[in-house]
């Protein structure tokens, strides 16, 4: 009996998208229920709660770094299945009888999510033609926001419908498990060539060491790191500073991603949209952080959500359009992209909190730090390669002169 029954690329894309959306729902749902979870365990230590966040961050850094290694060992199909199983371990979160098991369940779930986000890219490369990839990449980029938005606006209704927050989280985890099993029915479609058509040739090996020596990977990750750092700080610290517009960032982020998909489909230049969106981001981070006007903060939050996600489709498509890109190489590229970005963001998060403590609860210096860090998106755009045919950027000119 042939179990490889799912051979429709759009069904494959739907499985990937819904899997990560469910991860976001289970993940954010667990975070939203953390007070009830800690109360049920009679734990009132903020240090314990913060340790859970720290373990989650560690899972993201470690998971995204070793994701490519796992894919190389098992193949992308089996590696994606493993990521889904790890996400399903989240069912232990509402059932955990003690703090230690809760910590393990959240860590493994975060590890699964970290794996999965890296595997988007080789799956897209294997199943979709180059002209389709920007659209699918953009849709995948909004998956976490969709899941987060659903929880922010509907968690209470889910709990009413299921009877409790425990039942809600269990349903999310079982749904993730079901999708993982459905994934096993997909065709194992790996890409083994570095070019298509007449230029088809065996793919060259691209190791972690090659990736770490590749300047592009460092520029690429550091460009994104400042935005990621701000995004994490926004949901971690801004409410404590009395700035409560984070939900607006989620909503307008979904709109921005959809607009970015349409834009990237019509305009094939990638760098300009990253650069000018990055400039808007710096000003709106400043407005959200330092303005005393609720209206300015609200407008800044809406603009931030839009312009943080508007260029994401272009950003995640750049590696797919680089010369001689393969599924193996793109897996390593995104593995390093996310692990380096999360590492920088983790240090930034610690520095933000430390500055607030050093200034006796005053957020001004910390807000200045995160505003400066948010400029990496704008500054990094000057060093990213433009992948549009016939386009010339500073990076392209440098590479050309070196080759000459």
Report yes or no: 309 and 260 within 8 Å, Cβ to Cβ.
Answer: yes
Give the residue numbers spanning the domain of 229. Answer: 206-388
Residue 178 shares a structural domain with residue 235: no
- Reduced to 3 states (helix: H, G, I; strand: E, B; else coil), residue 232 is helix
- Write out pLDDT tens, residues 51-66: 666 667 788 888 999 9
Report yes or no: 279 and 202 within 8 Å, Cβ to Cβ.
Answer: no
Transcribe 319-367 into DSSP letters.
GGGSTT--HHHHHHHHHHHHHHHHHHHHHHHHHHHHHHHHTTT--HHHH
Residue 185 shares a structural domain with residue 247: no
Looking at 162-166, 192-196, 330-334, which range is the least confident one?
192-196
Checking if the pLDDT of 40 tops 90, the result is no
Residue 214 shares a structural domain with residue 178: no
Q: Is residue 333 part of a domain?
A: yes
Q: What's the domain count of the chain?
A: 2
Residue 322 shares a structural domain with residue 220: yes
Checking if the pLDDT of 385 tops 90, the result is yes
Of the residues 127, 157, 189, the one at which a domain ends: 189
- Reduced to 3 states (helix: H, G, I; strand: E, B; else coil), residue 186 is strand
Of the residues 144, 163, 189, the one at which a domain ends: 189
pTM (predicted TM-score): 0.83
Q: What is the mean pLDDT of residues 366-381?
A: 95
Residue 316 shares a structural domain with residue 178: no
Percent of the chain at pLDDT > 90 equals 49
CA-to-CA dists, residue 304 to 108, 238, 364, angstroms: 31, 14, 19
Residue 161 shares a structural domain with residue 236: no
CA-to-CA dists, residue 152 to 26, 160, 165, angstroms: 12, 15, 14
Checking if the pLDDT of 116 tops 90, the result is yes
Q: Is residue 2 part of a domain?
A: no
Question: Which residue(s) pair with 186 in the sheet?
Answer: 6
- More reliable by pLDDT, 46 or 221: 221
Percent of the chain at pLDDT > 70 equals 87
Burial 192-225 (b: 16+ CB within 10 A, else e): eebeeeeeeeebeebeeeebeebebbbbbbbbbb
Q: Which two tokens stand for residue 23?
A: 């991860």
Confidence of residue 180 (pLDDT cuts 50, 70, 90): very high
pLDDT of residue 373: 95
Residue 180 shares a structural domain with residue 47: yes
Q: Is residue 320 part of a domain?
A: yes
Residue 66 shares a structural domain with residue 117: yes
- Which residue, 182, 183, 196, is CA-closest to 130? 196
Confidence of residue 172 (pLDDT cuts 50, 70, 90): very high
- Reduced to 3 states (helix: H, G, I; strand: E, B; else coil), residue 46 is helix
> Which residue has 């939050």 as its token pair?
301
Q: Which two tokens stand for residue 97?
A: 């009888």
CATH label of the domain that carries residue 58:
1.20.1250.20
In what helix (H) or strand (E) does residue 138 lie, and over which residues does it extend?
Answer: helix 130-141
CA–CA gap between residue 89 and residue 107 (Å, rounded): 9
Checking if the pLDDT of 194 tops 60, the result is no
Report yes or no: 315 and 224 within 8 Å, Cβ to Cβ.
Answer: yes
Q: Is residue 393 part of a domain?
A: no
Q: Is residue 309 part of a domain?
A: yes
Q: Is residue 398 part of a domain?
A: no
What is the CB neighbour count within 10 angstroms for residue 39?
A: 11
Confidence of residue 36 (pLDDT cuts 50, 70, 90): confident
Burial 241-261 (b: 16+ CB within 10 A, else e): bebebbebbbbbbbbbbbbbb
- Write out pLDDT tens, residues 297-322: 999 999 999 999 999 999 999 999 99
Q: Is residue 298 part of a domain?
A: yes
Residue 210 shares a structural domain with residue 257: yes
Residue 210 shares a structural domain with residue 185: no
pLDDT of residue 204: 64
pLDDT of residue 288: 94
Q: Is residue 194 part of a domain?
A: no
Q: Which two tokens stand for residue 185?
A: 């029915």
Report yes or no: 246 and 361 within 8 Å, Cβ to Cβ.
Answer: no
Of the residues 189, 217, 246, the one at which a domain ends: 189
Residue 219 shares a structural domain with residue 256: yes
pLDDT of residue 167: 93
Confidence of residue 43 (pLDDT cuts 50, 70, 90): low
Report yes or no: 287 and 331 within 8 Å, Cβ to Cβ.
Answer: no
Confidence of residue 393 (pLDDT cuts 50, 70, 90): very low
Residue 173 shares a structural domain with residue 287: no
Report yes or no: 122 and 328 within 8 Å, Cβ to Cβ.
Answer: yes
CA–CA gap between residue 297 and residue 303 (Å, rounded): 10
| Neighbour-count burial of 399, counting CB atoms closer than 10 A to its CB (0-12 exposed, 13-18 middle, 19+ buried) | middle
């Amino acid at each position: 009996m042939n179990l490889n029954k799912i051979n429709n690329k759009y069904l494959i894309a739907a499985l990937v998208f819904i899997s990560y959306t469910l991860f976001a729902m289970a993940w954010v749902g667990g975070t939203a229920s953390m007070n009830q979870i800690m109360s049920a365990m009679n734990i009132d230590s903020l240090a314990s709660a913060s340790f859970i966040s720290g373990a989650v961050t560690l899972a993201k850094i470690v998971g995204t770094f070793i994701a490519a290694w796992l894919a190389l060992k098992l193949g992308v199909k089996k590696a994606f299945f493993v990521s889904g199983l790890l996400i399903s371990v989240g069912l232990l979160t509402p059932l955990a009888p003690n703090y230690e098991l809760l910590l393990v369940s959240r860590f493994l779930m975060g590890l699964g999510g970290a794996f999965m986000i890296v595997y988007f890219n080789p799956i897209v490369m294997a199943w979709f033609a180059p002209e389709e990839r920007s659209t699918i990449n953009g849709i995948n980029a909004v998956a976490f926001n969709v899941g987060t938005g659903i929880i922010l606006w509907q968690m209470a209704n889910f709990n009413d419908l299921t009877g409790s927050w425990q039942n809600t989280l269990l349903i999310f985890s079982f749904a993730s498990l079901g999708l993982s099993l459905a994934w096993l029915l997909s065709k194992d479609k790996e890409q083994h060539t570095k070019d298509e058509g007449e230029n088809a040739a065996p793919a060259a090996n691209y190791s972690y060491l090659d990736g770490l020596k590749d300047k592009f990977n460092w520029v690429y990750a550091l460009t994104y790191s400042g935005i990621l750092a701000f995004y994490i700080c926004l949901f971690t610290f801004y409410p404590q500073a009395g700035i409560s517009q984070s939900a607006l960032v989620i909503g307008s982020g979904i709109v921005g991603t959809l607009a970015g998909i349409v834009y990237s489909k019509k305009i094939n230049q990638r760098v300009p949209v990253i650069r000018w969106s990055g400039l808007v981001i710096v000003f709106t981070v400043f407005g959200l952080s330092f303005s005393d006007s609720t209206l300015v903060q609200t407008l800044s939050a809406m603009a931030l959500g839009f312009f943080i996600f508007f260029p994401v489709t272009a950003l995640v498509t750049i590696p797919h359009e680089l010369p001689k890109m393969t599924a193996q190489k793109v897996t390593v590229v995104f593995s390093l992209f996310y692990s380096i970005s999360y590492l920088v963001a983790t240090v930034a998060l610690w520095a933000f909190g430390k500055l607030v403590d050093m200034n006796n609860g005053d957020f001004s210096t910390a807000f200045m730090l995160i505003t400066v860090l948010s400029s990496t998106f704008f500054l990094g755009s000057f060093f990213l390669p433009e992948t549009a045919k016939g386009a010339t950027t500073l990076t392209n000119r440098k590479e050309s002169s070196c080759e000459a």
